[in-house]
């Protein structure tokens, strides 16, 4: 595992530890009424779980913020960690009210409504109500993420996700007022305040980022037609240039305030610092980008990603497998690296192949086109570099000189294709350490 991944895991663990260090557990044996002692301990456990859940939520906010990727470039790994913490953090938060209710001897209705006894304790009930709002909001986000993520559009789902920013302030107000653990220990309360400060700084960063701060301005200088649905946009830096490594991606935003979407740098001119993005029409955002005119200014930030920089197994040759616009992370590598890589390139028809001429010229016999929607007669006329169907282990074996175990495989393309090729490779005995994938969805 990479050093930065281990470090981040350790920092997350360390952020939770103070809760356990500062708690002063009552002496169980000194409490004669054991049922009372049990309830007391369950109450303490419920508070611990609530505080740990709160810290995990703070990590969700931190990991969902782009500035973390300035330190950790593997955004996709950060994102998968964000999802994992989201799941487990929610379980902690869910257990907190349930255990608290149990230790108070309340019934489950208290999860939704105050009871007659506490109704008069306005201050206390107000803070419980704030906790309830945080809990409902989190439940809404968790349930929509688990059950509706695939049904909702990415945009709507992301907007709903922004609601999570109100949860931490609510927890911050809820916990110190009625949280017996925090009240009992000054150091713990101080630590809680520090976490609130970290949240506030993270939030300010998020807002500044949203308004274009920390981004580089680029001017569109040229638009090239690549295929019927893909164009290459060439941008020159107006202020600080971004210098991506081969295969890395940047986020582009066409308005000062608006969405930023990820695109791989398809070409970098090291002298002029101009960079190109090959953009395929997909939905609202890409359609808007395709309408950009030469001279217009966009905001870019990055560079992110580790895909083609990953530690491949030494002594094995690299094989690239691309589907459609998934060719972009490989382009500059193929243009500038002298080692002889083989490219398997899947597309629907010959008219859908981006950078076809250039790649054929660079790679000669080391490119195999696999076309899923081209008739066999047409394929025959195209020559032996063209195969019909989908990229499979059979096709890989037919065109590679050595056994599949002798290679590292880099895959980028539509999710279905990536899943299929990965399964084919694994079924042929290729280890997951030899397979590297870049997903074009976050
Ligand atoms: C690391 C990476 C590199 C990419 N490189 C390229 C490239 O070189 N060329 C290219 O044409 N496309 C690339 N993409 C895909 C491109 O980002 C999406 O096609 C584009 O954001 C879709 O936006 P849309 O509104 O036009 O389409 P929609 O139809 O709204 O979205 C289609 C899908 O794109 C994904 N998507 C949408 N918005 C975002 C977002 N803000 N962040 C991340 N994913 C999103 C979602 O999975 C969504 O389901 C890359 C994606 C990633 C993650």
Ligand 1 centroid to Cα of residue 250, in Å, is 12
Ligand 1, residues at Cβ distance < 6 Å: 154-155, 249, 259, 261-264, 278-280, 282-286, 305, 325, 328, 440-442
pLDDT tens column, 191-241: 999 999 999 999 998 888 877 778 899 999 999 999 999 999 999 999 889
Considering the entire predicted model, what is its pTM?
0.82
CATH 1.10.10 is right for the domain spanning 3-210: no
Three-state DSSP state, 72: coil
Ligand 1 centroid to Cα of residue 427, in Å, is 30
The protein residue with its alpha carbon nearest to ligand 1, atom 37, reads 154
Which run of H or of E encompasses 102?
helix 75-104
The protein residue with its alpha carbon nearest to ligand 1, atom 6, reads 263
Report how far residue 64's alpha carbon sits from residue 61's, in angstroms, rounded to the nearest whole number.
5
Percentages of the chain per state (helix, strand, coil), in multiples of 5: 55, 20, 25
Q: Where are the domains of the chain?
A: 3-210, 216-305, 313-439
Pick 313-439's CATH classification: 1.10.10.10, 3.40.50.80, 3.40.50.280, 3.80.30.20. 3.40.50.80
The protein residue with its alpha carbon nearest to ligand 1, atom 48, reads 154
Whether the CB-CB separation of 300 and 215 falls below 8 Å is answered with yes
Ligand 1 centroid to Cα of residue 267, in Å, is 18
Three-state DSSP state, 349: coil
- Give the mutation target among 77, 162, 282, 302 for probing the ligand 1 site: most ligand atoms within 8 A of CB: 282
Ligand 1 centroid to Cα of residue 415, in Å, is 12
Whether the CB-CB separation of 317 and 304 falls below 8 Å is answered with no
Ligand 1 centroid to Cα of residue 166, in Å, is 27
Are 216-305 and 313-439 equal in CATH topology? no
Q: Which two tokens stand for residue 39?
A: 């309830």
Whether the CB-CB separation of 165 and 61 falls below 8 Å is answered with yes
pLDDT at 17 over 70: yes
Q: Which two tokens stand for residue 3?
A: 């050093």
Ligand 1 centroid to Cα of residue 249, in Å, is 11
pLDDT at 264 over 90: yes
Ligand 1 atom nearest 265 alpha carbon: 8
The protein residue with its alpha carbon nearest to ligand 1, atom 13, reads 263
Whether the CB-CB separation of 90 and 57 falls below 8 Å is answered with no
Q: Read off the pLDDT band of 257 (50, 70, 90).
A: confident
- Average pLDDT in the 297-319 region? 80
Ligand 1 centroid to Cα of residue 261, in Å, is 6
- CATH H-level, domain 216-305: superfamily: Translation factors (2.40.30.10)
Place of tokens 């966009």: 298
pLDDT at 309 over 70: no
**How far are the Cα atoms of 161, 245, 270 from residue 329, in angstroms, in the given order?**
29, 10, 17
- Cα end-to-end span (Å), the chain: 22
pLDDT at 316 over 90: no
- Residue 386: what are its φ and ψ, rounded to 5°? -110, 130
- Average pLDDT in the 53-78 region? 84
């Amino acid at each position: 595992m990479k050093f930065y991944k281990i470090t981040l895991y350790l920092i997350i663990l360390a952020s939770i530890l103070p809760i356990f260090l500062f708690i002063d557990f009552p002496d169980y044996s000194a409490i004669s009424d054991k049922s009372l002692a049990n309830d007391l301990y369950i109450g303490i456990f419920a508070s611990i779980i609530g505080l740990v859940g709160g810290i995990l939520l703070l990590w969700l906010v931190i990991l969902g913020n782009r500035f973390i990727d300035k330190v950790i470039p593997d955004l996709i790994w950060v994102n998968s960690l964000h999802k994992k913490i989201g799941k487990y953090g929610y379980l902690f938060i869910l257990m907190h009210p349930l255990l608290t209710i149990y230790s108070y001897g309340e019934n489950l209705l208290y999860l939704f409504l105050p009871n007659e006894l506490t109704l008069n304790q306005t201050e206390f009930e107000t803070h419980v109500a704030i906790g309830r709002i945080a809990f409902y909001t989190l439940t809404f986000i968790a349930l929509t993420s688990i059950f509706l993520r695939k049904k909702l559009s990415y945009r709507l789902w992301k907007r709903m996700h922004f609601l999570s920013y109100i949860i931490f302030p609510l927890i911050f107000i809820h916990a110190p007022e009625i949280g017996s653990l925090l009240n009992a220990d000054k150091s713990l309360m101080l630590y809680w305040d520090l976490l609130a400060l970290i949240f506030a700084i993270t939030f300010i960063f998020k807002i500044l980022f949203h308004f274009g701060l920390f981004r580089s301005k680029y001017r569109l200088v040229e638009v090239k037609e690549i295929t019927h649905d893909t164009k290459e946009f060439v941008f020159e830096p107006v202020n600080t240039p971004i210098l991506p490594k081969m295969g890395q991606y940047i986020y582009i935003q066409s308005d000062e305030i608006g969405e930023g979407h990820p695109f791989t740098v398809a070409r970098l001119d090291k002298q002029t610092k101009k960079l190109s993005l090959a953009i395929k029409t997909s939905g609202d955002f890409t359609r808007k980008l395709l309408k950009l005119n030469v001279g217009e200014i966009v905001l870019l930030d990055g560079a992110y990603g580790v895909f083609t920089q990953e530690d491949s197994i030494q002594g094995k040759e690299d094989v690239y497998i691309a589907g459609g616009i998934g060719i972009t992370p490989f382009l500059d590598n193929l243009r500038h690296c002298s080692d002889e890589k083989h490219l398997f390139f899947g597309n629907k028809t010959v008219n859908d192949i981006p950078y076809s001429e250039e790649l054929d010229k660079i790679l000669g016999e080391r490119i195999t086109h696999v076309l899923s929607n081209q008739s066999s007669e047409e394929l025959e006329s195209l020559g032996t570099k063209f195969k019909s169907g989908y990229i499979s282990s059979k096709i890989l074996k037919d065109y590679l000189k050595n056994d599949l175990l002798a290679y590292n495989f880099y895959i980028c393309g539509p999710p279905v294709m990536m899943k299929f090729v990965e399964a084919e490779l694994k079924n042929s005995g290729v280890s997951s350490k030899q397979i590297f994938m870049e997903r074009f969805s976050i």
